[in-house]
Structure 1
Amino acid sequence: MSRAEPLTTPEHSSGLPWIADAKRVAPRDARALSKLFLDRIQVLDEGTRAYQYARNTLIEMNISLVHFAASRFRNRGSGAMEDIVQVGTIGLIKAIDRFDLSRGVGFSSFAVPYIVGEIKRSFRDTSWAVHVPRRMQEMRVDLARAKENLCLTLGRDPTVGELAEHLGVAEDVVSEGIIAANGYTAGSLDVYPSTGDEVPNARTRAANMGGTDPRIEIIDNLLALAPLLCELDPRERRIIDMRFGQDMTQAQIGDVLGVSQMHISRLLAQVLSRLRRGMLTES
């Protein structure tokens, strides 16, 4: 760990230790120091030298969290790792500005979802050659997965109707998704499409495309949901736990809390609506 001394200069009269090179602080020491800095930053006046020092030091001490989160995107093939780290650092800054020690949650557990979410948003906004609505971006993934599954079952490419039936949507939605998927990449007008005649056993480009593992999406959604759950009050978290963690009915929850089933229904609707808005905002 780098040398830490009490601040004595007037511009940094915050009572925080002076850390000359915060990036060299070991992760174990960074956790303890981050708690101290996060506690002090909540009472410092924004815009002062002391506040800027505390905030900048927090960013540098926890930059290892950004590198950890960015490593999972190393093989995405879109942008240099330095760019991904830069985007992830924005998520780290947001986490620092929104963190509340009174929640009793470790900073690293709170910050990683923000970092991952910021990187994912960057990929979503910059990876497509043509911007399309998010629902169509998600439809492209669903279509690719459905087509792969149906090809194995049918032994041929599925029709639009078969894809629609498999996904439980209308055929025009599938058609719109297929058209929108063409906006993911842009081919040069100077390149002629290959017929495959010059290469024996040539495969189409679509045949070489993989699908997105749905389990990764589940993990990402859970990471995004975690900080939102931490913002609920204890009673709301208890209701969510009993309903979705313990699979209790609304009537059973009402009996435990001594209120009516209708009251539980209203509370659940309010909490779920708030969580849904938070997920859409962070997505």
Structure 2
Amino acid sequence: MALMSISAAADTRTSGLPEVADPSRVAPKDARELSRLFFDQLAVLEEGTPEYSYARSTLIEMNMSLVRYAAGRFRSRGAEEMEDIVQVGMIGLIKAIDRFELTREVEFTSFAIPYIVGEIKRFFRDTTWAVHVPRRLQEARVQLARATEELRSRLGRTPTVRELSELMSLPEEEVREARLAANGYNSSSLDAAIGGSEEGESSLQDFIGAEDQALGLVEDFHALAPLIAELDERDRQIIHMRFVEELTQAQIGEHLGVSQMHVSRLLSRTLARLREGMLTHR
């Protein structure tokens, strides 16, 4: 760890954490090891303190390479737009850091990349519409394009609204709305060819990335619902505030009148119970 210097004596400002001279230049392998140490301390530090701010900002800088890696998938964009992509990716990184907990028992890199790429994809989705279209219809339009192509290949003709409705599990009226919403889009379908090359044609989907594997979590969400229903009211309230309202543990503690550490213990216990229930379901 040549790029890192550790104080000989523990600095009370950093709660004993190593002082990283230039976090943005820490090698990825070292960043993974250090991140676990910083996340471990972040869980017990009080938000708003200098120690907490130091740990959080160091984590952000150490893991900026994840943003550059994710942004590299969009190299075909111009330099000016790439700068926007990196800035948007940083938002995803910060969200991942604020929501990550070691109790998840996954590597932070595996947890953070979907957040970073998700923010970038959301950026493309929200900036490529000529007129304002509700988010629900924006997403339905993409689903409609894929369903139409699938049925056209399968049936050898343009599918009917009813056939699309059955495949998409949407009411026919929403399928019609999605078709109308497509008129507000100012670029090609994600799957439409946008140019040729010696290797063949490419589609916008090739530049945005692979199909979102998170779609496979739908079944898990259905399995999770009854498990959450079995929790007592306080545990459900904590889960709701943490993952729906996206409050920090300190904010939850203030709302419930307990310490941040107590919230952390309750949350860890509840998540472990839900995880065990999910594994049993599988």
TM-score (norm 2): 0.63
Measured against aligned partners, the alpha-carbon deviations of 1:152-205 in whole angstroms (never above 9, x if no partner) come to 455554454554465455443332111101112189xxxxxxxxxxxxxxxxxx
Partner of 1:31: 32
* Letter aligned with residue 136 of structure 1: L
Partner of 1:241: 279
CA contact (8 A) 1:144 1:211 kept: no
Q: How does 1:1-283 map to 2 (within 5 A)?
A: 1-6=2-7, 12-75=13-76, 80-153=81-154, 155-160=156-161, 163-164=164-165, 167=168, 169-185=170-186, 208=193, 216-221=210-215, 233-243=271-281, 245=282
C-alpha separation in 2, matches of 1:222 and 1:22: 35
CA contact (8 A) 2:192 2:204 kept: no
* Letter aligned with residue 278 of structure 2: I
* Letter aligned with residue 213 of structure 2: I
C-alpha separation in 1, matches of 2:44 and 2:215: 33
Measured against aligned partners, the alpha-carbon deviations of 1:65-121 in whole angstroms (never above 9, x if no partner) come to 222233334457897222222112122222222222344332222222322332233
- State how many pairs are aligned: 223
C-alpha separation in 2, matches of 1:153 and 1:105: 39
1:159 to 1:108, Cα distance in 2 relative to 1, 3 A: closer
C-alpha separation in 2, matches of 1:110 and 1:136: 28
CA contact (8 A) 2:14 2:55 kept: no
CA contact (8 A) 1:44 1:50 kept: yes
Q: Percent identity?
A: 55
Report the more deviating stretch, 118-127 or 81-90. 118-127
* Letter aligned with residue 97 of structure 1: D
Secondary structure of the 1:144 match is: helix
Deviation at 1:31, TM superposition (A): 1.5
Report the more deviating stretch, 139-148 or 10-19. 10-19
* Letter aligned with residue 236 of structure 1: L
Report the more deviating stretch, 69-78 or 55-64. 69-78
C-alpha separation in 2, matches of 1:83 and 1:94: 17
CA contact (8 A) 1:7 1:16 kept: no
C-alpha separation in 2, matches of 1:122 and 1:32: 31
Could you tell me which runs of 5 or more consecutive residues in structure 1 were left unpaired when the two chains were aligned.
188-205, 246-283
TM-score (norm 1): 0.62
1:222 to 1:28, Cα distance in 2 relative to 1, 3 A: farther
1:223 to 1:23, Cα distance in 2 relative to 1, 3 A: farther
